[in-house]
């Protein structure tokens, strides 16, 4: 079984229906592992408060303007509660090769259609 094809729902990751955005950054197009100049969306770093305060980056491709800015996040005290629309979480194998000991662990990659503040900010 290819575990990267298994979709993990938002609520299984967050253990809640919402999360808290702590930062937002531009998402750029990559070609041959090199970042280009073309912005293709935004990346939101969210905190899953009910899941041990785990942080996760969620990519929203096709979004030119973020639904929330870093300034608004700071004005709100450092985080803003959000809903995540059409979340798709997947596991991929991340390997490290330190001191000739090769190991692999599962990492979560996530994307969504949108990340929307619960309350207007």
| For residues 4-25, average pLDDT | 95
Q: In the prediction, which pLDDT does 106 show?
A: 82
Is residue 41 within 8 A of residue 59, CB to CB? The reply is yes
Residues 6+ apart with CB under 8 A from 99: none
**Nearest in space to 44 (alpha carbons), one of 28, 29, 26, 62:** 26
Model confidence at 20, pLDDT cuts 50, 70, 90, reads: very high
| For residues 1-23, average pLDDT | 92
The yes-or-no verdict on residue 14 having pLDDT over 60 is yes
Is residue 17 within 8 A of residue 11, CB to CB? The reply is yes
| For residues 62-82, average pLDDT | 96
Give the number of other Cβ atoms within 10 Å of residue 38's Cβ.
9
Give the number of other Cβ atoms within 10 Å of residue 69's Cβ.
13
| For residues 78-83, average pLDDT | 97
**Nearest in space to 23 (alpha carbons), one of 86, 85, 69, 81:** 69
Model confidence at 35, pLDDT cuts 50, 70, 90, reads: very high
Per the model's pLDDT, the better-predicted residue between 73 and 3 turns out to be: 73
Task: Give the global pTM.
Answer: 0.87
CA 53/CA 15 separation, integer angstroms: 11
Per the model's pLDDT, the better-predicted residue between 97 and 49 turns out to be: 49
């Amino acid at each position: 079984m290819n575990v990267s094809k298994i979709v993990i729902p938002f609520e299984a990751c967050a253990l809640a229906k919402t999360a808290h955005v702590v930062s937002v950054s531009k998402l750029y197009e990559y070609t041959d592992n090199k970042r280009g100049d073309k912005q293709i969306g935004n990346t939101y770093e969210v905190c899953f408060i009910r899941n041990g305060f785990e942080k996760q980056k969620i990519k929203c491709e096709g979004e030119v303007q973020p639904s929330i800015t870093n300034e608004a996040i700071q004005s709100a005290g450092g985080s803003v509660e959000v809903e995540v629309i059409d979340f798709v979480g997947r596991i991929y194998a991340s390997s490290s090769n330190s001191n000739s000991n090769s190991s692999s662990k599962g990492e979560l990659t996530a994307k969504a259609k949108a990340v929307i503040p619960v309350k207007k900010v």
